[in-house]
Amino acid sequence: MTSEQDKTASSDNDAREVERIALQRKRSIAIAVCLGLLVVLFYVATLVKMGGDIAEKAGS
């Protein structure tokens, strides 16, 4: 290989690496959002199961 071909191959590898990191970041953000929504869903379900007057029950 000539040095010009090495530079082109290196450039292609760098572009692929940047694309891979971008996809990994998007995937990580999507997983974090889903996990956050699941936490909120469990929290709301717990409040509904306990009832709306939980503060009054705790005070008496």
The pTM of the full predicted model, rounded to 2 decimals, is: 0.64
Please answer whether residues 29 and 36 qualify as being in contact, where contact means their C-beta atoms are separated by less than 8 angstroms: no
Q: How confident is the model at residue 3 (pLDDT cuts 50, 70, 90)?
A: low
The predicted model gives 10-28 an average pLDDT of 93
User: Which of the pair, 20 or 1, is modelled with greater confidence?
Assistant: 20
**How far apart, in whole angstroms, are the C-alpha atoms of residue 48 and residue 2?**
69
